[in-house]
Amino acid sequence: FDFDKRAKAARGKTSAAVRSQLASPFEPFQRDLPLPPLAKPVRASKKLEEYVIDMKPGTADILPGLQTPVLGYNGLFPGPTIRARRGRAVHVTQRNQSGRSLNVHLHGGVTEPQFDGHPHDAIPTGAERLYKYPNVAHSATLWYHDHAHGETAQTLFAGLAGFYILDDPDDKHLDLPQGDYDVPLMITDRSFNQDGSFRYRFDLDRGFRGDTILVNGAVAPRMKVERRLYRLRFLNASNARAYTLKLGNGREMIQIGSDGGLLPAPVRRKEIPMEPAERVDVIVDFRQFGVGSKVILHNEGGEPSTDAVMRFDVVRATGSEDAKIPQLLREEEELPEVNAERSWPLTFQGLAGGASMWQIGGGGFNEMRIDCRPRLGSTELWTWRNLSQRTHPMHMHGYHFRVVSVNGKPPHPGDRGWKDTVAVYPNETVVVRPYFDYFGGLYVFHCHAAEHGDMSMMGQMEVVA
Ligand code: C2O
Ligand code: CU
């Protein structure tokens, strides 16, 4: 079973017309990689860090000589990075100065339901809301983004997304690259108008897919790297575009983590497919390249075969020649027995009057309906059956799951850690095993292709004691 072919086969049908639409009109490698600023707490103690963030309009320098209007956290795209530590809570006061209703979801976060950003927990414009994040779960690359009901495709596209990196002091012994050598990379796609503003086009079928790939808000940037190990934290924060990352014509990247943090053991990969909202943490060993090398990270999907994501320019030799990656990253914990099994067909449903929508389990989102009631402390088996011709990155709030099988086969080793979003390609059946640990209450699960989730591929679960 060739896993890399799996993604290709699913997306290989992209027509030449679509491929040319997805070719960027801009020169790559013109700018250095920007890093989102670190958010600064307004108060900090041993047990708690407090932040205040303003959701407001701003401008971004993306194209030469032009200003791009965005809606961002502190007016920035991407938003400021929050760095949290396991065992120390983070409180964020989000002030909505955007002119529209918003709310904030900590994607991959384990929080009580009132702080999770259920699409109906809106913050009206002019108001603020306090989100409490206990940081009780494992270290992981999380992100926060808007989740306005039925409008997430627009608000995410406008720029409301930022990193939330959760560290764990217990990971210290692994001696993974830190500081300047631990780099968050937010991949998004956009199209642009002549004046530099983002150009959005609603596409219910495939979701929005832009012609230009940005990393941390810059068009295919370049990054100076030293000849040593780096930890790169990739996040696909695109509305609906998927990527297959490939380094320097097929050099290996060593995957150490996914959505829910560290994998049991490192996995060497030449290609890494990423659907919207997925995170992949890799170690790249730049000692395999000589000083002066320019190493391109490509997107190689069924989409243009040579579009660049970014470039690494190896500038000098530093770091220890014998730095190594530990062979055991995280112990796999035992899970409680499976308490229930559920099956969810994923379909594109024609409606009366010629309209259509995306559905889970034969229904669209209905705030008055609770689709299931898992028991707190239990695990379940959920089967996603994709009966449609599009890929659905299926995401669950509040909890993580393990991927049990993909079309009856074990998942790729890179998907064997904790996940919160899993790709379900056309005609696939993917079985996952969520663990309803920590907090009970009302949460949503949905497709993370933003246009699908808005229209209205989302369900609700109430986790009960
Ligand atoms: Cu990033 Cu409801 O999700
Ligand atoms: Cu979908």
The H or E element that residue 190 is part of is strand 182-190
Ligand sitting nearest the alpha carbon of 445: 1
Question: CA nearest 94: which of 148, 136, 44?
Answer: 148
Q: Place 1 in a pLDDT band, splitting at 50, 70 and 90.
A: very low
> What does residue 20 show for φ and ψ, rounded to 5 degrees?
-75, -30
Would you state the pLDDT for residue 330?
Answer: 95
CATH architecture, range 338-463: Sandwich (2.60)
Would you state the pLDDT for residue 360?
Answer: 97
Q: If DSSP codes are grouped into helix, strand and coil, which group holds residue 344?
A: strand
Q: Ligand 1: which atom is nearest the Cα of residue 108?
A: 1
What is the DSSP code (8-state) at residue 92?
Answer: E
Residues β-bridged to residue 258: 261
Residues β-bridged to residue 403: 432
Q: Ligand 1: which atom is nearest the Cα of residue 145?
A: 1
Q: How far is the CA of 268 from the centre of ligand 2 (A)?
A: 29
Ligand sitting nearest the alpha carbon of 259: 1
Tell me whether domains 3-28+175-317 and 43-173 share a fold: yes
Q: Place 23 in a pLDDT band, splitting at 50, 70 and 90.
A: confident
Q: How far is the CA of 447 from the centre of ligand 2 (A)?
A: 5
- For residue 322, pLDDT over 90 is answered with no
Give the whole-angstrom CA distance, residue 160 versus residue 228. 33
Question: CA nearest 380: which of 448, 259, 464, 278?
Answer: 464
CATH of 43-173, one of 1.10.150.120, 2.60.40.420, 3.10.450.50, 3.40.50.2000: 2.60.40.420
Q: Place 14 in a pLDDT band, splitting at 50, 70 and 90.
A: low
Cβ atoms of residues 220 and 259 within 8 Å: no
Cβ atoms of residues 75 and 96 within 8 Å: no
Q: CA–CA distance from 151 to each of 102, 214, 265 (Å)?
A: 9, 22, 38
Q: Is the CB of 209 under 6 A from ligand 1?
A: no
For atom 3 of ligand 1, the residue with the nearest CA is 107
Q: Ligand 1: which atom is nearest the Cα of residue 147?
A: 2
Full-prediction pTM beyond 0.90?
yes
Residues β-bridged to residue 363: 360
The number of beta carbons lying within 10 Å of the beta carbon of residue 11 is: 17
Q: Can you say whether residue 362 is alpha, beta or left, with left for phi > 0 and alpha for psi between -120 and 50 degrees?
A: left
Query: Which pair of tokens denotes residue 123?
Result: 């913050």
The H or E element that residue 446 is part of is strand 441-447
- For residue 226, pLDDT over 80 is answered with yes
Q: If DSSP codes are grouped into helix, strand and coil, which group holds residue 151?
A: coil
Give the whole-angstrom CA distance, residue 131 versus residue 126. 17
Q: Is the CB of 145 under 6 A from ligand 1?
A: yes
Q: How far is the CA of 208 from the centre of ligand 2 (A)?
A: 12
Would you state the pLDDT for residue 3?
Answer: 56
Give the whole-angstrom CA distance, residue 250 versus residue 115. 42
Question: CA nearest 319: which of 283, 287, 282?
Answer: 287
Q: Is the CB of 129 under 6 A from ligand 1?
A: no
Domain limits, the chain: 3-28+175-317, 43-173, 338-463
Segment 432-441, tens digit of pLDDT:
999 999 999 9
Q: Is the CB of 448 under 6 A from ligand 1?
A: yes
**% of the chain with per-residue pLDDT over 70:** 94
Q: Can you say whether residue 75 is alpha, beta or left, with left for phi > 0 and alpha for psi between -120 and 50 degrees?
A: left
CA angle 237, 242, 247 (to 5 degrees): 95
Give the whole-angstrom CA distance, residue 38 versus residue 163. 9
Taken in order 159, 241, 24, 271, the sign of the CA dihedral is positive
The H or E element that residue 443 is part of is strand 441-447
Q: CA–CA distance from 183 to each of 81, 105, 231, 270 (Å)?
A: 11, 22, 6, 19
Give the whole-angstrom CA distance, residue 250 versus residue 271. 7
Mean pLDDT of 178-201: 97
- For residue 320, pLDDT over 80 is answered with no
Cis ω before 456 (30° cut-off from 0): yes
Q: 3-28+175-317 has which CATH code? A: 2.60.40.420
Rg (CA), the chain: 21
Segment 121-163, tens digit of pLDDT:
999 999 999 999 999 999 999 999 999 999 999 999 999 999 9
Rounded to two decimals, the ipTM of the complex is 0.98
Q: Place 174 in a pLDDT band, splitting at 50, 70 and 90.
A: very high
Mean pLDDT of 256-260: 98
- Residue partners of 137: CB distance under 8 A and separation at least 6: 86, 109, 110, 166, 260, 261, 400, 438
Q: Can you say whether residue 4 is alpha, beta or left, with left for phi > 0 and alpha for psi between -120 and 50 degrees?
A: alpha
Question: CA nearest 319: which of 222, 254, 224, 230?
Answer: 230
Mean pLDDT of the chain: 94
- For residue 86, pLDDT over 50 is answered with yes
209 burial (CB, 10 Å; 0-12 / 13-18 / 19+) is buried
Cis ω before 78 (30° cut-off from 0): yes
What is the DSSP code (8-state) at residue 451?
Answer: H
